Structure 1
Amino acid sequence: MNTTIEMMPSYVQEKWWVPEGSGGTEALDASTGEVLGRVSTEGLDLSAAVHYGRTTGQAELGKLTLHQRALKLRELATYLNGRREELYEISARTGATRGDSMVDIDGGIGVLFTYSSKGRRELPNSNVIVDGPLEVLSKDGSFAGEHIYTRIPGVAVQINAFNFPVWGMLEKFAPAFIAGVPTVVKPATPSMELAVAGVRMMVESGILPPGSLQLLSGPARSILDALDYRDMVSFTGSASTANLLRAHPNVAAGGVRFNAETDSLNAAILGPDAVPGTPEFDAFIRSVVTEMTVKAGQKCTAVRRAIVPEQLKPAVIEAIGARLAGRVVVGDPRTEGVTMGALASLDQLSSVRAAVDTMLHSGGTLAWGTLDAPDVGSAGGGAFMSPVLLDWADPDSPAVHTLEAFGPVCGVLGFSMHDGGASEAVRLAALGAGSLVATVCTNDPDFARSVVTGIAGHHGRVLMLNREDARSSTGHGSPVPHLVHGGPGRAGGGEELGGIRSVMHHMQRTAIQGSPNMLTAVTGVWHAGADRVVAGDPEYGGMEGAVHPFRKSLAELRIGDAFASGLRQVTLADITAFAQSTGDTFYAHTDPVAAQKNPFFPGIVAHGYLLVSWAAGLFVEPAPGPVLANYGLENLRFLTPVAPGDSIRVTLTAKQISPRVTDDYGEVCWDTVLHNQNGDIVASYDVLTLVEKENTLYP
C-alpha cells in the first residue's frame, strides 16, 4: 500500500504542476481499493492555460501545414506504440483486462495512425481548405465567391469520461491537432493515472509543438469562464453534466462551440429470419455478450436493449445466459483466467446496482446474474459485479427506455410480428430517444432496409450484421475513426470522429468573395480568370520560347504557370480508327443516321476519350524531366460535341501545388480546358501529376 499519497500533476504552459497541500479527490485501484493518488486543480490558473493555448499553441501549430501536422501524428503514434506495455500496466489498475486495454490503448494509437494517413491523403498541404466549387457572381467573371475552412483561433477543451482514458483523449486530440487547434485535456478522476501517463509520454516524445497539449488533473468546470466564441468544448459523459455545461453563459450565449457525447440506450435488433442455428443468431448472441462484458459494460456504445422477435425471446435469453456462464470470469484483471474486470470505482458500482434495482421494481425480471457481490477470491475491496440480463415482459416499460445502468447490464425485449415485425422493432428502438449506435442482425435485405431506414434518424451509426461480415465486422461497440461517433437526442446531439469531418469541427467555414486573383492569393488554388504565365502558341496567349511548365520542378513551378496548344483537326477517319481500335462502337461515333436522331449530337461525333487522349498529346512535354507520372484525372465534363472537321486545342494551368513532406516529389493539379475552333469549351477537367521537388533525375 502507498504510505505517501501523491498528487497527480497537471501539465500547463510546458510545465508539470502539482497543487500545494494534501486535499483533492482520491483515485483508487478499481480492483483493490488502494489509493493511487489525489487529484486537484486548486490554485491552478485555468485562464492562463487557455491564454497560453490561444497564443503560444496557436502560433507554434500555425508554423506547420496540415500535412506536417498529420505527419507528426504518425510519429507520435509510432512512439506510443513502443511504450504500450507501460500503459497496459497502469490500465489494469482501472479494472481493465488486457483485452479492454487493447481497445483503449491500441485503439487510441490506431486513431492517430488513421488521422495521419487521411490528413495527408485527403487534405491540401496548406492551412486553407477550399469547400465546394467556385460561384461566379458577375457576368464577366471578375467577381466570384467560394467557401474556405480555416482553424478556429482558440483552444479545444476536451472533458472526458472514465471508461476510455487513452482512446477518448486521442480521438479528440488527433483531429484538433491536424486542424491546428491546441488541446486542453480534462480526464475523469477514476482513470486519471492512465491519462496522466499518456500525456507524459506524449510530452516526453518531444514531437509536439509547445502549447499544443495541456492537461488538467482535477476539477475544471470553471475553465468555461475563460472560454469564448473562439474556443470549442468536446464533452463525453452523462447527459446531466452535459446539460449543466450547456447552460453555462459562455456556451448558451457566448458562442463557445459545444460537442457532446452522452447517455445512450443502444439497441441490438434481431431479425425474424435469424432463428437459432443460423449464423445471424450466433453473431447476435456473441455481440450482446461482448458488449455486456468488455470494459465491464462501461461503454457508451454497449448494447443496453436486445430487441428480438417475441417468439425468439426464450431462445435468446437461454443462449446469452449460456455464453455468459461459459466465458465470464469476474475478478482482478491481473489474475490469470479473469475475463471481466472491475467497474471503475465503488461509486460506479453503487450507481449501477441502484439502476438495476430500480429496473427490477419497474417490470424487469432477473433472467441471468445476480446483484450479490461475486466471489473474486483474494481480490477484496474492488468494484466487482456479475453481468446481469433482464427480461422485460412489457417491451414498452418506460424504465428500460429511459434508465441506463452503465455496467454489465442488458435487457431483452420482444416485438410482435405485426406487418413483418420491422415497424415494431423500429418503434421500440426509437423509444431510446436518440442513441449512438444500433445493430440490425439479419440476412433478410427487406427487413434490414425497413429497420435501418426507420431508425437512422434516431441513431448516429447503424451496424448491419449478417453471415457475410460477422467475422470482419469491427463490432457494435467499436467506433472507427473513419466514421462519425455521436448521435441525436439523449446521445448528446454531437459528432466526433468521422475522418476529415471531425477536423472540420475545429475549423470555421467562411464565404469569401473577390476577384479571381484575390481568391487565388487567399486559397493557393488558381481560379479561372486569374493571372497566368502562358507558354506555347502565341495565337492563344502563349509566349513562344517560354519554358513549358512540365520542364519545371516544384521549386520552380508557380501557381498560374500555363501552356496553350495550337489547334488539331478531327476527321471522320480519326473517329472510325479510334472506334475500331478501342471497341467503343457506340452508334454516335459510327452510325450517321442514328447519331443524327440523337438530340445531343449533330451527327457522328468524336469520342470524349479520344479528345482527352489527343489533349494529352497537345500539352505533354515528351522529353524526360521533373514530371514523373500522371496519376489521375478528376472532375471530367464533356460540354460541347466535336464533329468531323472541327478542331480542338488545350490550355493547361498549374492549379494547385502540394509538396509531400516525406518525399522528393509532390502533386500538381492542372486545370485543363479543351476549346474548339470557335472558342467554345469542349471539355474541362483536372490532370494530376507527380513532380520532383528539385530537377535531379533528368536535369
Structure 2
Amino acid sequence: MTTMPTLQSYIGGRWIGAQAAQPLASAINGRIVAHTHAEAIDFGEALMHARRKGIPALMAMDFQERAARLKALAGYLAERKEQLYTISHHTGATRADSWIDIEGGTGTLHAYAGMGSNELPSGNVLHEGPPVQLGKQGKFFGTHILVPRGGVAVHINAFNFPVWGLLEKFAPTFLAGMPCIAKPATATSYLTEAMVRMVQESGIIPEGSLQLVIGGTGDLLDRLEGSDVVTFTGSADTAAKLRAHPNLIRQSIPFNAEADSLNCAILAPDVTPDDEEFDLFVKEVVREMTIKAGQKCTAIRRAIVPHQHLDAVAQRLRERLAKTVIGDPSREGVKMGALASQAQQADVAERVALLSQGNEVVFGAKDGFNPVGDGVGEGAFFAPTLLLCRDAFGNDKVHDVEAFGPVSTLMPYGDIDEALALAAKGRGSLVGSLFTRDPKIAAKAVPVAAMHHGRILVLDREAAAESTGHGSPLPALKHGGPGRAGGGEELGGLRAVTHYLQRTAVQGSPTMLMAVTGEYLRGAAINESEIHPFRRHFDDLQVGDSLLTHRRTVTEADIVAFGGLSGDYFYMHFDEIAARETQFGKRIAHGYFVLSAAAGLFVSPAPGPVLANYGLDTLRFVKPVGIGDTIQARLTCKRKIDRRRKDPKGVGQGVVAWDVAVTNQNGELVASYDILTLVSKRA
C-alpha cells in the first residue's frame, strides 16, 4: 500500500508537519493524493520570523534588486513547470486550465519584474510627485513619498488557482519589500506546497520573505499589527466575515478582498445571428463555463441577450456545449475536467437546484453527460448547465445565487437600458463584457456599467484577434470590483505595489525634499564643477550635479533655417503681419527649435559615458521666444536609476534623468522638460 505524503507548512525557516490529518482527494477519481498535517502552527513564531528575518533581508535590497529576483524566480519556476502540470492534473484541470494557473503565475512574476525594473527607482523611496510650492518665495514645498510599510502581508487564497493565486499577490508584495505569509485553500494546497518548495529550494528570495500555511489560520489575524496587510480571495460571505475581524478593525489593518461575483456578458442589440460578434459571444460564454470547469471568480454567470435573439443564442450554446468532451484531462480530446473536490460538487449541485426553481434548464446533465476516463465515477465532475430565466427582473435568485462551477443563466432584455439594469442587479462584479459592433452603444453602455464593474471588456471582431478574453485578469490592469465583488483592487500594474507601501506627505525646503526623495527639485542646492556632467560616469554622478550653459541669441536666420529643415512653415514663425495680430504680437521661434538649440548649449559632443538619449518627459513650452531673445539652459542631474544591466562587453549601465530649464534674457522660464539618458558605469 502506497503511503500518501503529508503536506507541510513552511514556518520560521523550516518545514513543519509529519502527522497526517485531513485527506485530500484527486478530483479525477477520488483517490487520496495527500494529507494535511496535524501539527499546530505557532503563528507568533511565523510573524516574528517575518519581522526579524524577512523585513531586514528585503530592506537590504532596493526596488531594482527585488525586481531582478522576481525575474530570476520566474525563470526558475518556468524550467520546472512540468512537475507542476503533473500535480495540477489532480485538481481536475486540463492542460489549458493549468496553463492559466502555472504559466499565468510565472508570467505575472515576469510582468512585475519588468514593471519594477522600468518604473521604480533604485532605492526604497518612491517619489509620487510633482512637488507643490507652498510658499510664495519658492522656499517651502510639499510632495508625497511611498515607502515600505515595515509590516507583514497575509494572503488568503481560494482553491481554483493554487499557483497563480499565490504568485499574483506575492509578486507586488515582494517588490514592495514586504514579507508574506500565504494560506492557500486546503482542497488544492498540495499543488501550492509543491510550488513553494521550488521557491525555497531556488535560494533566490531571502529567508523570511515567504511562509506557507497548510490548514487553518488559527490566531494569526489576532496577532497582526497596524503595519500589516491582509488580502483575501474567495466567497463574498467569507470576505465579509474577515473584513469584520475585531483586530483588523481595531488596528485599522488594510484589507483587500477579491470576491466571487455574478459577472455578466451582454450581447448588444445591434448584433444579429449573422454577425461575427454573435459567434464571439457564444464562444466566450461556453469558454467561461468550461475553463477550470467554471471555477473562476471572473466566469460569466449571467448571459444577457436581446429577447428577439434568445432562441438563436440558446440553440448555438446548446450545440457548442454538446460538443464539449468532459472527463480525465489526461485523455486525448478532453476539454473540460472536474470540479476541485466532491464538496465543491455538492455545493454546485445545491445552488443549481436553487437557480432551477422557476427557470428552465436549456442544457444539463440529461443531455449526454458522460465523463470519460478510469474511475471518473468517484471524481468531482459536474455537467455544464445552462439555465434560462425569462423574467430576470422578477427572479432575484439569478442575481443573488452563484453556482461556482460550469453554470450560466440566459436572460432576455428589451433595450440596452434594460440590459444595463440587469447587469447592475448583480450588485457589484469583477468583470462584465459587452459584445457590439457599434461604438455609440459602447460609449453609452460602458460608463453606466462601470459603476458596478471592476473591469469591462468591449469585444468586437477587431479586438477578437488579440483579446485575452472575458475572464483573464492581467497584471497591468486592475482586478477587483465594487460591492459584492469585495470592493478591493489587485494587480493594476504599480497600483498593486503601492497597496503595500505607506504614502506620506513631506514638507520642507527644496534641498531637504531632494535629500529625502532622491530627486532634484528646482530651487534645491546644486553642485557645479568644472567637469561637465555628461563627462561623469554613472557611478560618479550625484543628484544635483548641474551645468549652466553659455547663452545664444535667436535670429531670424535661425527661424528660417529651422523651418526649411523641418518643413514647419506655420504662420506664427513666418508671417509678420498675421503674427502681429495674435496675443504674442510678433513672430516667434518654433518650440522645437528652442528644444534643439538648448541641446546644442548643453551637449558635450565628444565620446563619453553618456551613451544615448532615449526620451523626453514633462515637456512644456512656457513662454514664447522671439527674434532677438537670448536663451540659456541649466542642465541638472535629477534622478538616477541603477537597473543593474550590462552591455555586451560587460560594462554596467544606468539611467539618468536630467532636469532642463531654458530661460530667456530676463531669467524667465521659456521651456521645461526632463531628458532620459543611458549612462555607462566605470569599467
TM-score range, shorter chain: over 0.9
Alignment of 1:310-321 (within 5 A): 310-321=307-318
Match of 2:440 among 446, 456, 459: 446
Structure 1: distance between partners of 2:98 and 2:628: 70
Q: Contact (CA 8 Å) 2:17, 2:39: kept in 1 or not?
A: no
Deviation at 1:375, TM superposition (A): 4.6
Structure 1: distance between partners of 2:232 and 2:555: 66
Match of 1:659 among 636, 642, 651: 642
Which secondary structure does the structure 1 equivalent of 2:23 belong to? strand
**1:466 alignment partner in structure 2:** 460
Deviation at 1:415, TM superposition (A): 0.2
Amino acid corresponding to residue 359 of structure 2 in structure 1: G
**1:350 alignment partner in structure 2:** 346
Out of 436-445 and 576-585, give the one that drifted further: 576-585
- Counterpart check, 1:586 vs 2:570: yes
**2:208 alignment partner in structure 1:** 211
Q: Cα deviations across residues 157-186 of structure 1 (Å, max 9, x unaligned)?
A: 110000000011111011111111111110
Structure 2: distance between partners of 1:6 and 1:619: 68
Structure 2: distance between partners of 1:32 and 1:105: 22
Which secondary structure does the structure 1 equivalent of 2:187 belong to? helix
Q: Contact (CA 8 Å) 2:436, 2:460: kept in 1 or not?
A: yes
Match of 1:574 among 528, 547, 558: 558
- Structure 1 residues 574 and 376: CA distance shift in structure 2, 3 A: closer
Alignment of 1:291-440 (within 5 A): 291-326=288-323, 328-361=324-357, 363-370=358-365, 374-376=370-372, 378-379=374-375, 380-396=377-393, 397-416=395-414, 421-440=415-434
Out of 405-414 and 58-67, give the one that drifted further: 58-67
Q: Cα deviations across residues 2-37 of structure 1 (Å, max 9, x unaligned)?
A: 643442100012211116x44x32211111111222
Alignment of 1:480-491 (within 5 A): 480-491=474-485
Structure 2: distance between partners of 1:371 and 1:7: 39
Which secondary structure does the structure 2 equivalent of 1:660 belong to? strand
**1:539 alignment partner in structure 2:** none
Q: Contact (CA 8 Å) 1:425, 1:451: kept in 2 or not?
A: no
Identity rate, percent: 51
Match of 2:597 among 606, 614, 620: 614
Amino acid corresponding to residue 651 of structure 1 in structure 2: R
Structure 2: distance between partners of 1:564 and 1:446: 53
**2:548 alignment partner in structure 1:** 564
Q: Contact (CA 8 Å) 2:125, 2:147: kept in 1 or not?
A: yes
Match of 1:98 among 77, 95, 98: 95
Gaps of 5+ in 2: 647-651
**2:500 alignment partner in structure 1:** 506
Structure 2: distance between partners of 1:43 and 1:370: 42
Structure 2: distance between partners of 1:331 and 1:157: 36
- Structure 1 residues 433 and 457: CA distance shift in structure 2, 3 A: same
Q: How many residues align?
A: 675
Deviation at 1:435, TM superposition (A): 0.2
Amino acid corresponding to residue 403 of structure 1 in structure 2: V
**1:160 alignment partner in structure 2:** 157
- Counterpart check, 1:271 vs 2:268: yes
Q: Contact (CA 8 Å) 2:662, 2:669: kept in 1 or not?
A: yes
Match of 2:588 among 605, 609, 612: 605
Match of 2:44 among 47, 56, 75: 47
**1:17 alignment partner in structure 2:** 16
Q: Cα deviations across residues 361-404 of structure 1 (Å, max 9, x unaligned)?
A: 2x211111127974545323111111000011111210000000
Structure 1: distance between partners of 2:604 and 2:371: 78
Out of 218-227 and 100-109, give the one that drifted further: 218-227
Q: Contact (CA 8 Å) 1:41, 1:219: kept in 2 or not?
A: no
Deviation at 1:470, TM superposition (A): 1.5
Out of 185-194 and 334-343, give the one that drifted further: 334-343
Q: Contact (CA 8 Å) 1:108, 1:167: kept in 2 or not?
A: yes
Deviation at 1:132, TM superposition (A): 2.2
Structure 1: distance between partners of 2:334 and 2:550: 77
**1:684 alignment partner in structure 2:** 672
Structure 1: distance between partners of 2:101 and 2:606: 53
Alignment of 1:17-166 (within 5 A): 17-18=16-17, 21-22=19-20, 24-40=21-37, 42-166=39-163
Match of 1:674 among 662, 667, 675: 662
Q: Contact (CA 8 Å) 1:665, 1:691: kept in 2 or not?
A: yes
Which secondary structure does the structure 2 equivalent of 1:201 belong to? helix
Deviation at 1:38, TM superposition (A): 2.2
- Structure 1 residues 577 and 377: CA distance shift in structure 2, 3 A: closer
Cα root mean square deviation, aligned: 1.4
Deviation at 1:504, TM superposition (A): 0.6
Amino acid corresponding to residue 370 of structure 1 in structure 2: A
**2:534 alignment partner in structure 1:** 550
**1:624 alignment partner in structure 2:** 607
Q: Cα deviations across residues 477-508 of structure 1 (Å, max 9, x unaligned)?
A: 11111101000000000011111111111111
Amino acid corresponding to residue 502 of structure 1 in structure 2: A
Q: Contact (CA 8 Å) 1:270, 1:308: kept in 2 or not?
A: yes
Q: Contact (CA 8 Å) 1:371, 1:385: kept in 2 or not?
A: no
Q: Cα deviations across residues 650-672 of structure 1 (Å, max 9, x unaligned)?
A: 11111111122122111111111
Which secondary structure does the structure 2 equivalent of 1:141 belong to? coil
Structure 2: distance between partners of 1:495 and 1:40: 33
Deviation at 1:566, TM superposition (A): 1.9
Which secondary structure does the structure 2 equivalent of 1:54 belong to? helix
Structure 1: distance between partners of 2:219 and 2:264: 36
Alignment of 1:161-310 (within 5 A): 161-310=158-307
Structure 2: distance between partners of 1:100 and 1:296: 9
**2:649 alignment partner in structure 1:** none
- Counterpart check, 1:644 vs 2:627: yes
TM-score w.r.t. the length of structure 2 is: 0.97
Structure 2: distance between partners of 1:489 and 1:409: 22
Structure 2: distance between partners of 1:4 and 1:88: 22
Deviation at 1:228, TM superposition (A): 1.7
Q: Cα deviations across residues 72-130 of structure 1 (Å, max 9, x unaligned)?
A: 11111111111111000000001111111111101111101111111111111221111
- Structure 1 residues 371 and 127: CA distance shift in structure 2, 3 A: farther
Structure 1: distance between partners of 2:294 and 2:626: 68
Which secondary structure does the structure 2 equivalent of 1:110 belong to? helix
**1:540 alignment partner in structure 2:** none
Structure 2: distance between partners of 1:374 and 1:45: 46
Structure 1: distance between partners of 2:135 and 2:411: 61
Which secondary structure does the structure 2 equivalent of 1:195 belong to? helix
Q: Contact (CA 8 Å) 1:374, 1:384: kept in 2 or not?
A: no
Which secondary structure does the structure 1 equivalent of 2:632 belong to? strand
Gaps of 5+ in 1: 536-545
Which secondary structure does the structure 1 equivalent of 2:611 belong to? strand
**1:519 alignment partner in structure 2:** 513
Structure 1: distance between partners of 2:340 and 2:410: 25
Match of 2:579 among 595, 599, 607: 595
Which secondary structure does the structure 2 equivalent of 1:468 belong to? helix
Q: Contact (CA 8 Å) 1:647, 1:676: kept in 2 or not?
A: yes
Deviation at 1:151, TM superposition (A): 1.3
Amino acid corresponding to residue 645 of structure 1 in structure 2: G
Structure 1: distance between partners of 2:37 and 2:265: 40
- Counterpart check, 1:530 vs 2:535: no
